Amino acid sequence: MIPVRGMDGAQVAVLGLGRSGLATAASLQAGGAQALCWDDSPEGRAAAEARGHEIRDLTKPGAMAGIDRLVVSPGIPHLYPAPHPVIRAAMAAGVPVDNDIGLFFRSLAGSEWARFEQPPKVVAVTGSNGKSTTTALIHHCLEAAGREAQLAGNIGRGVLDIDPPGDGGIVVLELSSYQTDLARALTPDVAVFTNLSPDHLDRHGGMGGYFAAKRRLFAEGGPDRAVIGIDEAEGLFLAGQLAEAPSDDRVIRVSVTEKLDGAGWNVFARKGFLAEYRKGRQAGSIDLRGIRGLPGRHNHQNACSAYAALRALGLAPREIEAGFLSFEGLPHRSQIIAEARGVTYVNDSKATNVDSAAQALQAFPRIRWIAGGLGKEGGIATLAPHLGAVVKAYLIGHSARDFALQLPGTEHEISETMEQAVAQAMAEAQEGDTVLLAPAAASFDQYPNFEKRGEDFIRIVRGRLGLGAEA
């Protein structure tokens, strides 16, 4: 646990009592503050009470009297589409609003750091797609190279729940736009921006607000090194804002669409090969084509971002390559779950929007595509340019018929359920095919979350192959 510093004797309200909220309350108390907890759900309040935390109804008039700070969990809106009433009351009363990420950055460094030969460092990864894989890949490579590393934030443990890092230790964080938007302190040593595509726009008041939330990690934090994916205009703009000159190697530019060999520090991937250039000369390379845990161009982008961050931390190319080779990927993200009779089965249940589904659909040569669920605004019409490898689509869930209307040139079948879709795809699959779950939709019509949807796909596939439920 990281005790919260600088709040000894303070009264701090905690709104939202999920994983991060409970860890925040414990860390506040460990640092000498009084945590006053509230959750809109009785279950959340009961979980906090079971851990000995004090419950206070923050929705009552005057509840902010005597409160020194309000700490908010990431799922609770503070501005768009409308502030939560408790947050509005705090702002009206002049109470500072923060989150666990802000508390983490203000509390991480301790007096014991003066005795360390190498101060601990923090790597923070944000972006629209691929940030979980990039974060996990950085952490995996650090551990494979024998470095002390912890994984936290939007993946792994809550940031305040980790152990205080030791001499030379590295904390690797995945940060969502919800987390970067509200944190009052953001000071990573290395910050990574993977890419940007429309997401959470209602929460940020549009694309500009969404990008502004991501940009705070760099503008507010001033990292020693910034790894920036420049394949979108926003990333190119951000890299230009941070660099003082073309040769400024505090910014590492990343691309999977073009060769980068300019005067600065660049990492790019083309035709399955990753290359690092510094001052116009090649400094390292990795053949990504045979790395099982990183299939497809989207994973090559993740590999480039992770490689750049790891090089900024001092790892050699050969150490990074060894880590890549032993990386098995994350569950529900281009996860190969079985191979039988020449057919590969891939679980990409995390592909809940058209952008992430498009990446998955470009990663394999012959695809039997399982898609559908609770469709998002705009449907899947924009996937048309990416369907060249799709042999047939098997559509499930609430949006199956809507999706069918948007696939005029692609053979498809309305399967309704995962069980039926998998059975049909397996019966028709030929050697060389990939049966791919990449729904391009939310899961909430049939499953509580994308993880449960992916687990059901794994269970059905492996059960039919006689392999057992575990991938």
Beta strands at 273-278 and 281-287: parallel, antiparallel or unpaired? antiparallel
End-to-end CA distance of the chain: 32
Q: What residues contact residue 61 under an 8 Å CB cut-off, 6+ apart?
A: none
Looking at the DSSP bridge assignments, the partners of residue 123 are 172, 190
* 133 marked as binding residue: yes
Tell me if 56 sits within 8 A of 74, measured CB to CB.
no
Tell me if 29 sits within 8 A of 7, measured CB to CB.
no
Helices (H), 280-417: 296-312, 317-325, 354-361, 400-405
Give the torsion sign (CA, 46, 48, 50, 54). Answer: negative
* 344 marked as binding residue: no
Tell me if 288 sits within 8 A of 274, measured CB to CB.
yes
Tell me if 127 sits within 8 A of 196, measured CB to CB.
yes
CA distance 100 to 389: 43
Q: What residues contact residue 125 under an 8 Å CB cut-off, 6+ apart?
A: 131, 134, 135, 138, 172, 173, 174, 175, 191, 192, 194, 305, 309
* 130 marked as binding residue: yes
DSSP, res 4: P
* 27 marked as binding residue: no
Identity of the residue numbered 355: D
* 356 marked as binding residue: no
* 129 marked as binding residue: yes
Which pair of tokens denotes residue 418? 């995962």
Q: What residues contact residue 292 under an 8 Å CB cut-off, 6+ apart?
A: 328, 329, 336
Q: How many helices (H) and strands (E) does the chain have?
A: 15, 20
Give the torsion sign (CA, 453, 455, 458, 464). Answer: negative
Q: What residues contact residue 150 under an 8 Å CB cut-off, 6+ apart?
A: 139, 156, 157, 162, 163, 165, 169, 170, 171, 172
Distances (CA, A) of 94 to 71, 90, 158, 249: 14, 6, 27, 41
Tell me if 1 sits within 8 A of 28, measured CB to CB.
no
Cis before 81 (ω within 30)? yes
- DSSP-derived 3-state class of residue 219: helix
Which pair of tokens denotes residue 464? 């039919």
* 132 marked as binding residue: yes
Known binding positions for ATP = 127-133
Known binding positions = 127-133
